[in-house]
Amino acid sequence: MTAPLDFSTWVCPAPLRDYPAIVMGHGAGGKLSAELINHLFLPAFGGPRGPLADAVRIEIGGARLAISTDSFVVRPLFFPGGNIGELAVNGTINDIAMMGAQPLALTASFILEEGMPLDQLGVIAESMGRAAQQAGVTLIAGDTKVVDRGHGDGVFITTTGFGLIPACVNIGPEQARPGDAIIVSGPIGLHGVAILSVREGIEFGAPVVSDTAALHGLVSTMLASDARLHTLRDPTRGGVAAALNEIATDAQIGIEIVERDVPVPPAVQAACELLGMDPLHIANEGKLVAFVARDDAERLLDAMRAHPLGRDAALIGYATADHPGVVVARTGIGGMRVVDTLVGEQLPRIC
Q: How far is CA 65 from CA 55, 56, 98, 316, in A?
A: 10, 8, 12, 31
Calculate the CA 140 to chain-centre distance. Answer: 25
Of the candidates 48, 28, 27, 29, the one whose C-alpha atom is nearest the C-alpha of residue 38 is: 48
- Give the integer Cα–Cα distance in Å for 5 and 176: 21
- Give the integer Cα–Cα distance in Å for 221 and 319: 23
Q: 86-96 burial string, b = 16+ CB within 10 Å, else e?
A: bbbbbbbbbbb
pLDDT beneath 70: ranges in the chain: 1-17, 28, 49-50, 205, 343-346
pLDDT at residue number 103: 97
Residues whose CB is less than 8 angstroms from the CB of residue 306 and which lie 6 or more positions away in sequence, other chains included: 221
Helices (H) and strands (E) in the chain, counts: 9, 14
Q: 150-166 burial string, b = 16+ CB within 10 Å, else e?
A: eebbbbbbbbbbbbebe
pLDDT at residue number 177: 97
- Give the integer Cα–Cα distance in Å for 350 and 199: 10
Is the Cβ–Cβ distance between 178 and 321 less than 8 Å? yes
Residues whose CB is less than 8 angstroms from the CB of residue 48 and which lie 6 or more positions away in sequence, other chains included: 42
Encode pLDDT of 37-53 as tens digits.
877 888 888 877 667 77
pTM score of the predicted model: 0.90
